[in-house]
């Protein structure tokens, strides 16, 4: 399964970047999809420096069906059929439920849930043509449990897991598997934003805020992006052919 084409959304930073680098190191040609060209080009440069192959698809908005169609078509033209689709683009703004207005709710669900639906629908025919296809959705432990002050985020990630399970059953008799990876609190720029919010609202220092998040993990630490990437890499491999419809927590035992 070497030199297969992997398409990764949200590939410019954090978990998406770690996944793109891991897939490239494993021999995949990687399409780097996201909104910000500079971030994606930096990831591409890192892949090219290590002898890998990657293409940048910037301006890729997971909420816009026309943009998605163009991006998927360009990726296929550049690197062939998409064998591995990784939906990683996402946002996690926080607000108390009573202050979560319809605009915030719609924004979060459009990116985190509807975005997965739109990208997968656009890419699925190519994934099926590629053979031994993989759809891997980066959800969250928030899709397996609840957290206060992120009701829209939790709802969106629960939706991603439900979508994953439904599509896995539809495709069970094909050679396409569909799974979700559910990281706990992970050391990424997304967490940096959460630390700022916690510090602002509670008066605690960033170090204290970081420690409070780490305590939710029984291992007493934040998850490393590479640990999530390694799980994705396994799901993308031939070794995981019998794994489908699963929501795999990468969270140090937080979810049992």
Which two tokens mark 159?
A: 């939706």
113-123 burial, b for 16+ CB within 10 Å, e for fewer?
A: bbbbebbbebb
Token pair belonging to 208: 């204290």
Residues 6+ apart with CB under 8 A from 237: 1
Angle at 103 between CA 38 and CA 63, to 5 degrees: 45
The residue from 139, 153, 157, 160 that is catalytic is 153
Alpha-carbon torsion (207, 255, 231, 106), positive or negative: negative
Q: What angle, rounded to 10 degrees, do the helices at 14-25 and 37-49 form?
A: 30
Cβ atoms of 76 and 179 closer than 8 Å: no
Active site residue 153: yes
Q: Give CA separation, 244 vs 90, 172, 179, in Å.
A: 22, 8, 5
Selection from 240, 205, 235, 184 nearest residue 19 by Cα: 235
Q: Are 114 and 63 in contact (CB under 8 A)?
A: yes
Catalytic residue list: 153
């Amino acid at each position: 399964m070497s030199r297969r084409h992997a398409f990764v959304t949200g590939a410019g930073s954090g978990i998406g970047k770690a996944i793109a680098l891991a897939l490239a190191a494993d021999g995949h040609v990687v399409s780097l999809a996201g909104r910000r060209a500079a971030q994606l080009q930096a990831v591409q440069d890192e892949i090219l420096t290590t002898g890998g192959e990657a293409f940048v698809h910037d301006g890729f908005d997971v909420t816009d069906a026309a943009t998605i169609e163009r991006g998927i078509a360009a990726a296929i033209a550049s690197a062939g059929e998409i064998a591995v689709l990784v939906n990683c683009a996402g946002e996690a703004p926080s607000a108390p439920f009573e202050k979560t207005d319809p605009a915030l709710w719609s924004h979060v669900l459009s990116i985190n849930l509807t975005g997965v639906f739109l990208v997968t629908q656009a890419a699925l025919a190519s994934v099926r043509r590629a053979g031994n296809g993989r759809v891997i959705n980066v959800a969250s432990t928030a899709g397996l449990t609840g957290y206060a002050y992120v009701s829209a985020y939790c709802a969106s990630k629960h939706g991603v897991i439900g979508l994953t399970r439904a599509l896995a059953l539809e495709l069970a008799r094909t050679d396409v598997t569909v799974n979700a990876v559910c990281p706990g609190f992970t050391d990424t720029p997304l967490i940096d934003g959460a630390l700022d919010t916690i510090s602002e609202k509670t008066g605690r220092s960033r170090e204290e805020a970081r420690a409070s998040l780490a305590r939710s993990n029984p291992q007493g630490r934040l998850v490393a992006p590479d640990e999530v990437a390694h799980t994705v890499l396994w799901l993308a491999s031939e070794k995981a052919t019998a794994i489908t419809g699963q929501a795999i927590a990468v969270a140090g035992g937080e979810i049992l």
